[in-house]
Chains A and B, each alone.
Chain A
Amino acid sequence: MRIRNVVILFTVMLLVVYGSLISTIAATQINQVDVTEINGIVKSIEKDWADGAAKKSGTVGTMSYQIALVGDANYQALLFDGIKNRQTIIDLTESAADGQLELLGKIIFQADGSEEVAVKRRLLIIVTITFLIVSMMVYAVLGLVHRSILRPFGVMKEFARKIADGDLEFRLPMDRGNYFGAFTESFDLMREELRKARQGEYQANISKKELVAELSHDIKTPVATIKAICEVLAIKLATVKTADLPALTAARTLTESIEKIAVIDAKADIIDALISNLFHATLEELEMLKINSSEQASTVIMQMFKDIDNFGKIQFKNDLVECLIFCDPLRLSQVIDNVISNSHKYAKTDIDIWFNLDKIEKNLTVKIKDYGAGVDPDECPLVCEKFFRGSGQTVQNTPGSGLGLYLARQFMVGMGGNLRCYNEDGFVVELRIKVV
C-alpha cells in the first residue's frame, strides 16, 4: 500500500474515532433530575408528614431521600453535605393556620452513583480502543516507511558497494511500486551502461590488438615479396655486371629487372595503403580493416597472380571468363598474396590455378592448388581460424602468425564471397568471388 493511502486511511480513522468519541460524550446524560417524580415524592412526603406517618429517610422507586429538619442539630451539616455531593435539595413545607407555608426542613435526594461509573467505564473502553488503533496505525506507517524507504536504501547501499568493488553483474532488484522504484531503475540503468562501457573498452582493446596484429601481418607479406625480388635482382644484376653476357641476354635480364622493379613499386603501394589503414585506425581508435568493394573486371585477378608469381611457379589450367566481379582489388590482392605466399612457404611446389564461372549462382571460383603435404584433415576446418597454425613439421619449423588464412577469409566474406580449404593431392584454397 502506498504511504499516501495509508496516511489518508489513518486520518479518516482518527476523524471517525474522534467523532464517535465526541458524540458519545455529548449524548451521555448523568444525574439528570426527574422533576415530576421528585415533585410527586415531595407531595407524598408532605402528605405523610401531615398524617404523621412520614419517615426521615426512605426510598421511593429508584430515588432515596433523607429529611433534614430545621430543628435537627446536624441540619446544616446534612445540608452542606448534600450541596457538596451535588444532591437535589427541595424544601419540606407545611401549610400553617394563616395559610402561609411554613418551612419544616429539607428533603435531600441522594444521587445514583452507578450511572457515573458506567459512563466512566465506557469512556475508558473508547479511549483504550482509540489508543490501540492509533498505535497500530503508527506502527503500520513505520513498517511501511521501513519497507519502502529504509530497506531500499539499504539495498542501494549494498549495490553501490558492489559496483565500487567492480561487480557490474550485480543486479539491483526493481520495484516500480514504491517510491524508490524509479530510482532503483535509474541506478540499474547506470550499472548497465557502465557494464556496456567497460565491455566496449575491453572489446576496443582486443580489437586494437588484433588490428595491429592483422596489419603487421599484412605489411609483412608485401615486404617479404620485396625482399625476395631484391635478392633475385641482386643476383641477376650481379651476373650482368660481372659476366661477359651476350647483349641480348643482358638486355633481357635488364627488362626482367625493370619488371621486378615495377612489382616492388606495386608492393610498396600496398604497404603505403596498409600504413594509411593503420594511421586511420589509430585516429579512430577502433576501426576494423575496411573493405571497399566495387564492380571490377575479372581480368584484375590475372594481374594479381602475375604480380605475385616471382618464382614462375603459377600455371593457369584454364581460361578466366571475362566478367564483372564484385571485389576490393586491394583486399583481393592481399588474399591472393597470402595464399600464394603460403604455398611458397610450406609446399614449395608448382601452383595450378583453375577458374570456374557459375552463371546460375553468380560466382567465380578460383581454385589454387599446390602439391605439398597439405594439412592434417582434422585441422582443415581450423586453418582459417584466428592464430591457428597447423601441427605439421613444416608449419612448426616455419615462422608465421596464423593470421594469413583467417584474414583472407575475412576479406573474402567481406567482399560477399568465401574461402574454402581442403586437401586434394596437395593443399587447395578455393576463392569464391561474387559476380555482378
Chain B
Amino acid sequence: MENTILRAEMLSKTYSNGSIMQHVLKNLNIEIAEGDFTVIMGSSGSGKSTLLYALSGMDKPTLGTIDFRGEEISKYNNDQLAIFRRKHCGFVFQQIYLNDTMTVLDNIMISGLLVSRDKKTIASRAKELLHQVGMDDTCYDKYPSQLSGGEAQRVAIVRALINAPEIVFADEPTGALNSTNAVNVLDVLTEVNASGQSIIMVTHDIKTARRANRILYLKDGVIIDELSLGTYVKDDPKRHGRLREFLESMGW
C-alpha cells in the first residue's frame, strides 16, 4: 500500500490466566494509509479495543510486529512507547478523562507541554483548535464540570490534536453523547481527517461508521472482511446502503 503510515504483521495478543490462554487477536495483518479514516467494527469481545490499543502502542502485542513509518514500534520498551505516543498519536476515549481541577485551556496545554516547551505557541494552537471545533473564547477558563458532554468531548479532541498527531485513535468517542453532540464530535473528526490526519476509530454505531472510508470487521480476533467506502459524502444513501449491506452480511 502506498503511503503506509502504520503496518501490523501477524499481530496476536494473548492473555493468560494460569494455564488458560485466551488469544484475543490472531495473526492480524493490517496496513493503514496516511489520511485514512479507518473504523474497526465487530461484536462485543471480538478484540476491537485490544487491536486499537496494540496499534497505538498503549499495549504490547504478544506476537507479531507493528511498524510506524518503517520503524518497528513493537520492539520499543515502555519509555520509548510513551514518547512515540506523545509525538505521533492522539487519543479520544468514550470516557473523557479531563482533569477536573484544571481549566479547559490548561487541560489542553498540559498535553502540549509534554512535547514542547513553547507555551505561547501551544496556547495559540489550542485556541485555534478550540475555535475550529466550535468553542469560543468563553470556554478557556471554564472547568470541565461547567461543560456539556459534547463540549467536554470536543475539548478532549482538541487535547488529542494539540501535538498535531499523525494518527488519532478513538475508542467509541460518541458512546456517551446524545445524538446532537455525537454529530458535532463526528463533524470535528471528519474535518480533522480531511486535513490529512489519519483516524482509527472503534465503534458500535453505524452512523459513526459512515464517516469512515474503510471499515474493518473483526470477529473472534480475526479480520473477517473489510469494506472500502471512499471519501465521506454527507447524506449519501448509496454509501449508507453499502455499509448496511456489508454489516448485515457480517451478521452484525
Question: Hey, which bits of chain A sit against chain B, CB under 8 A?
Answer: 295, 297-299, 321-324, 357, 359, 362, 435-436
Contact = CB atoms under 8 A, between A and B. Distances in A.
A324 B29 contact: no
Contacts of A321: 9-10
The listed residue with most B CB atoms (<10 A of its CB), out of A297, A324, A359, A436, is A324
B61 to A, nearest CB: 9
Nearest to B29: A359
Nearest to A299: B63
Pairs of residues from A and B, 9 with the lowest C-beta to C-beta distance, nearest first: A323-B10, A322-B63, A436-B26, A324-B12, A295-B23, A323-B27, A324-B26, A324-B27, A436-B27
Interface in B64-95: 64-65
20 contacts: A297-B12, A297-B14, A297-B63, A299-B63, A321-B9, A321-B10, A322-B10, A322-B12, A323-B12, A323-B27, A323-B64, A324-B10, A324-B23, A324-B27, A324-B63, A359-B10, A359-B29, A362-B27, A435-B27, A436-B26
Nearest to A322: B63
Given A323-B12, A323-B64, 13 more contacts: A295-B23, A297-B12, A297-B14, A297-B63, A299-B63, A322-B10, A322-B12, A322-B63, A322-B64, A324-B23, A359-B10, A362-B27, A436-B23
Contacts of B62: 297
Nearest to A357: B10
B199 to A, nearest CB: 26
Contacts of A322: 10, 12, 63-65
B135 to A, nearest CB: 45
A34 B222 CA distance: 120
Contacts of A357: 10
Interface residues of B, number: 14
B224 to A, nearest CB: 13
A299 B63 CA distance: 9
Contacts of A297: 12, 14, 62-63
A326 to B, nearest CB: 10
A359 B29 CA distance: 9
A297 B65 CA distance: 14
Contacts of B10: 321-324, 357, 359
A322 B64 CA distance: 5
A359 B21 CA distance: 23
Contacts of B26: 295, 324, 436
Nearest to A325: B27
A232 B63 CA distance: 35
Nearest to B222: A436
A113 B217 CA distance: 118
Nearest to A323: B10
A321 B10 CA distance: 8
Given A323-B12, A324-B12, A298 B63 contact: yes
The listed residue with most A CB atoms (<10 A of its CB), out of B9, B10, B26, B64, is B10
A322 B74 CA distance: 12
Contacts of B63: 297-299, 322-324
A376 to B, nearest CB: 39
Contacts of B9: 321
Contacts of A299: 63
